[in-house]
A and B are shown apart, each in its own frame.
Chain A
Amino acid sequence: MAAPQLPGADFRHHTLVVLVENKAGVLARVSGLFARRGYNIYSLAVAPTDDERFSRITIVVDVESASLEQITKQLFKLVNVVKISELDPRDAVERELMLATVRADPTGRSQVIELVGLFDGRIVDVGHDELTVSLDGEPGRLDDLEDLLRPYGIVELQRTGRVALPKLDRLAPNLRPVRHTA
Chain B
Amino acid sequence: MQLNGGQALIKSLEMEGVEVMFGLPGGAILPVYDPIIDSPIRHILVRHEQGAGHMAEGFAHATGRPGVCMVTSGPAATNVVTPLCDAFMDSVPIVCITGQVPFAAIGTDAFQECDTVGITRSVTKHNELITLAQDIPLMVRQAFHLATTGRPGPVLIDIPKDIVDPQNPRSAMEWYWPSDDDVAASLPGYRPTTRGHPKMIRQAADLIVQARRPVIYAGGGILKARAAEALRELAELCDIHVVTTLMARGAFPDDHPLCLGMPGMHGNYTAVTSMQQSDLLIALGSRFDDRVTGKVDGFAPDAKVIHVDVDPAELGKVRRPDVPIVGDCRLVIEELVTAVRTLLDGGAAFPDRSAWNQTISGWQESYPLTYQQSEPGEALKPQFVLERLRDNTPDDTIVAAGVGQHQMWASQYWRFNHPYTWVNSGGLGTMGFSVPAAIGAKVGRPDRTVWAVDGDGCFQMTAQELVTATAERIPVKVAILNNAYLGMVRQWQEMFYDERYSEVYLSPDLPDYKLWAEAMGCVGMRVESPDEVDAAIQKANEIDDRPVVIDFRTDSREKVYPMVPAGKSNDDIIVDPSQGEGGR
| Complex CA distance for A78 and B151, rounded to whole angstroms | 12
- Least CB distance from B316 to A in Å reads 7
- Least CB distance from B315 to A in Å reads 8
| Complex CA distance for A58 and B129, rounded to whole angstroms | 26
Contact with A along B397-432 (1 / 0, CB 8 A): 000000000000000000000000000000000000
Instruction: Please choose the segment from B8-16, B184-192, B353-361, B531-539 that sits at the chain A interface, where 4 or more of its residues have CB less than 8 A away.
Output: B184-192
Contact with A along B103-133 (1 / 0, CB 8 A): 0000000000000011001100110010000
Contact in complex: B121, A32 (CB < 8 Å): yes
- Least CB distance from B190 to A in Å reads 5
- Within the complex, which residue of A21, A28, A70, A76 is in contact with B188, where a contact is CB–CB below 8 Å? A21
Residues of B contacting A28 in the complex (Cβ-Cβ under 8 angstroms): 118, 121
Residues of B contacting A53 in the complex (Cβ-Cβ under 8 angstroms): 188
Contact in complex: A79, B316 (CB < 8 Å): no
| Complex CA distance for A28 and B190, rounded to whole angstroms | 18
Q: CB within 8 Å of B: which of A68-105?
A: 69-70, 73-74, 76-83
- Least CB distance from B249 to A in Å reads 27
Q: Who on chain B is nearest to A74 by CB?
A: B313
Contact in complex: A36, B118 (CB < 8 Å): no
- Least CB distance from A61 to B in Å reads 16
Q: Who on chain A is nearest to B192 by CB?
A: A77
With contacts A36-B122, A73-B313 taken as known, whether A25 is within 8 angstroms of B189 at the C-beta atoms is no
- Least CB distance from B172 to A in Å reads 23
- Least CB distance from A156 to B in Å reads 30
Asked if A57 CB lies within 8 Å of chain B CBs, one says no
Residues of B contacting A74 in the complex (Cβ-Cβ under 8 angstroms): 313
Contact in complex: B118, A79 (CB < 8 Å): no
| Complex CA distance for A78 and B122, rounded to whole angstroms | 10
- Within the complex, which residue of B117, B118, B311, B316 is in contact with A77, where a contact is CB–CB below 8 Å? B311
Residues of B contacting A142 in the complex (Cβ-Cβ under 8 angstroms): none
Q: Is the interface of A mostly helix, strand, loop or mixed?
A: mixed
Asked if B540 CB lies within 8 Å of chain A CBs, one says no
| Complex CA distance for A128 and B548, rounded to whole angstroms | 84
Asked if B317 CB lies within 8 Å of chain A CBs, one says yes
| Complex CA distance for A57 and B311, rounded to whole angstroms | 23
Asked if B146 CB lies within 8 Å of chain A CBs, one says yes
Asked if A109 CB lies within 8 Å of chain B CBs, one says no
Contact in complex: A70, B187 (CB < 8 Å): no
- Within the complex, which residue of A24, A33, A70, A76 is in contact with B317, where a contact is CB–CB below 8 Å? A70
Asked if A122 CB lies within 8 Å of chain B CBs, one says no
Contact in complex: B313, A79 (CB < 8 Å): no
Asked if B312 CB lies within 8 Å of chain A CBs, one says yes
- Least CB distance from A81 to B in Å reads 5
Contact with B along A36-59 (1 / 0, CB 8 A): 100000000000000001000000
Residues of A contacting B126 in the complex (Cβ-Cβ under 8 angstroms): 79
- Least CB distance from A20 to B in Å reads 7
Residues of B contacting A80 in the complex (Cβ-Cβ under 8 angstroms): 189
Supply 6 further A-B pairs (C-beta < 8 A) apart from A21-B188, A25-B117, A28-B121: A25-B121, A29-B121, A32-B122, A73-B312, A77-B313, A82-B189
- Which residues of A are at the interface with B, using a C-beta cutoff of 8 A? 20-21, 24-25, 28-29, 32-33, 36, 53, 67, 69-70, 73-74, 76-83
- Which residues of B are at the interface with A, using a C-beta cutoff of 8 A? 117-118, 121-122, 125-126, 129, 146, 187-190, 311-313, 316-317
A sample of 24 cross-chain residue pairs with beta-carbon separation below 8 angstroms, ordered by A number, consists of A20-B189, A24-B129, A25-B117, A28-B118, A29-B121, A32-B122, A33-B122, A36-B122, A67-B316, A69-B316, A70-B317, A73-B312, A73-B313, A74-B313, A76-B312, A77-B313, A78-B189, A79-B125, A79-B146, A79-B187, A79-B189, A79-B190, A82-B189, A83-B189
In the A-B complex, list the 4 residue pairs whose CB atoms are closest, starting with the nearest: A73-B313, A82-B189, A79-B126, A36-B122
